[in-house]
Amino acid sequence: MNKRSIARLLCQRVDGLAQSGGYFFRKDCDLILQGVLLEYRPTGVYLWQFRFPLFDAFGENLLYSNRLEDGGFLAKGEFDDAQVVERVLARPEFAEALRPGSPMSLDSFLRYLEGSEAMLNPHAHLVLASGWVLAEEFARARDTLEAIFSEMLARLGKRDEELCRSLLGRLREDPNAAVALLKEVVERNRQAFGIG
């Protein structure tokens, strides 16, 4: 399995596809990257359905993604590069994520996040609050941030705690300042993924 060959073939087959490392996603995304992650290992490649909110200040992570179970591992030596691409494109979850148009709206992501296992992680609560800020649901964002402070502040990392305090302070004084802070985060992540 040749990573470059697979990437080239995949990008040839799907118009508007962007790539960053093993991540493949639509260039025309808004706030949510969604697509395919090819996780290369010495024994083969794992397939992930990945989602990433560009307003996650932590940066690239797989908290909102899932490694495919059934048929989600392609063993080295069993597939040539073209067959790997065919397997990826044959998966319905990838076909939906890679179709033209923004694959996931902010509202859809927030609904997905609220019902996902990611919410077991206190960082996901901060991301949910950040999403509410960008959706201009300022009361919901404030309530979520206040709940983080009262219930899980000790479980947050230092960077997350600082962001939580900053967002809550800005929401109380000027919600537009909170939006501006998160737009800076979005821009940094867009640049990190090569879509800035």
Last residue of a domain, one of 70, 98, 126: 98
Angle at 27 between CA 57 and CA 63, to 5 degrees: 35
Q: What is the Cα–Cα distance from 103 to 109, expressed in whole angstroms?
A: 10
Residues 137-147, mean pLDDT to the nearest whole number: 96
Same domain, 122 and 185: yes
In the 8-state DSSP scheme, what is residue 69?
S
Residue 50: per-residue pLDDT: 92
Share of the chain above pLDDT 90, in %: 82
Range of the domain at 185: 106-192
Which pair of tokens denotes residue 145? 């941030």
- Say what the pLDDT of residue 104 is: 85
Domain boundary, last residue among 98, 118, 143: 98
- As a whole number, mean pLDDT of residues 142-171 equals 93
Domain match, 119 and 91 both: no
Segment 16-70, tens digit of pLDDT: 899 999 999 988 888 999 999 999 999 999 999 999 999 999 999 999 999 998 8
Both 122 and 91 in one domain: the answer is: no
Task: Judge whether residue 4 has pLDDT over 80.
Answer: yes
Whole-number pLDDT of residue 153: 84
Residues 71 and 123 in one domain: no
Task: Identify residue 78 by its one-letter amino acid code.
Answer: E
Give the pLDDT of residue 146: 95
Q: Chain-wide mean pLDDT for the chain? A: 93
Domain count, the chain: 2
Closest CA to 71 of 94, 42, 100: 94
121: helix, coil or strand? coil
186 and 126 in one domain? yes
Domain identity same for 51 and 9: yes
Task: Please tell me the predicted confidence (pLDDT) of residue 113.
Answer: 95
Q: Work out whether strand 66-67 and strand 44-53 pair parallel, antiparallel, or are unpaired.
A: antiparallel
- Among 98, 125, 153, residue at a domain's last position: 98
Q: Are 32 and 49 members of one domain?
A: yes
Domain shared by 149 and 62, yes or no: no
Residues 91 and 137 in one domain: no
Distance in angstroms (rounded) separating the CA atoms of residues 167 and 52: 20
Q: Quick one: 13 and 91 in the same domain?
A: yes
Does 101 have pLDDT greater than 80? no
Same domain membership, residue 143 and residue 87? no
| Model pLDDT, residue 3 | 94
How confident is the model over 91-103, as a mean pLDDT? 81
Handedness of CA 113, 25, 39, 157 (dihedral sign): negative
pLDDT of the residue at 1: 86
| Residue 50 dihedral angles phi and psi, to the nearest 5° | -110, 150
Task: Let me know whether 10 and 77 are in one domain.
Answer: yes
Question: Within 13 Å, how many C-alpha atoms sit on residue 180's CB side?
Answer: 6
What is the Cα–Cα distance from 7 to 82, expressed in whole angstroms? 10
